[in-house]
Amino acid sequence: MGNASALVCNLHSSPMTDARLEHHYRQHFAYVWKSARRLGVSEVDADDVVQEAFLVARDLLDAKSPADVRSFLFGVLYNVVRRHRRRLKSSRENTNAVDDLPDASAPGPTSSTDRREAVRLLERLLALLNDEQRAVFVLAEIEQKKLREIGQILGIPPNTAASRLRLARTKLAEAAHRIQAQEGWRSR
């Protein structure tokens, strides 16, 4: 994960930064960083994307109640990630990354290898989704948000969120079925 204290120092170079922003940054850095990775930002670019998200959020963050901060930050991050992808696409770079799976207690060499394979599979599957479907899927399945909350975070109607989630689940289920069929064919 990125270095939060180094990034906080970079935020201090901005004249509008105050103790509240630093507090939110320290409190939510890990969540925003992991969310950036889940949205497909490479580990190399994650620190820059997270810092940009906090700088964009800076002026509006004080208006949000503490209960809304994480959702608000995800919405800002989502837009920053979309801009980041457009920049990468225009420079012909391609990134597909995902946050590591939740930590397993005392992983051995086999479980570590299994985890890496699972992360690669998850990256492959999530790469099949467009940005809108991926964001809804991450919020629903990883962050465990309700459709109403997802709609508020992304600025879309709940029915649109439901439709995107249904499409994402269908696309992922079909891809998983194809992968299982390929692996079954290989093991014969």
Model confidence over 4-55: pLDDT tens digits?
555 555 554 444 456 777 888 899 999 999 999 999 898 899 999 999 999 8
Token reading at 158:
């709940």
Domains of the chain: 1-99 (1.10.1740), 109-188 (1.10.10.10)
pLDDT of residue 94: 45
Question: Any idea what DSSP says for residue 122?
Answer: H
Tallying the residues shown for the chain, one arrives at: 188
Predicted confidence (pLDDT) per residue in 151-177, tens digit: 999 999 999 999 999 999 999 999 988
Predicted local confidence at residue 23, as pLDDT: 84
Number of other residues whose CB lies within 10 A of the CB of residue 48: 16
Mean pLDDT across the chain: 80
Mean of the pLDDT values across residues 177-183? 83
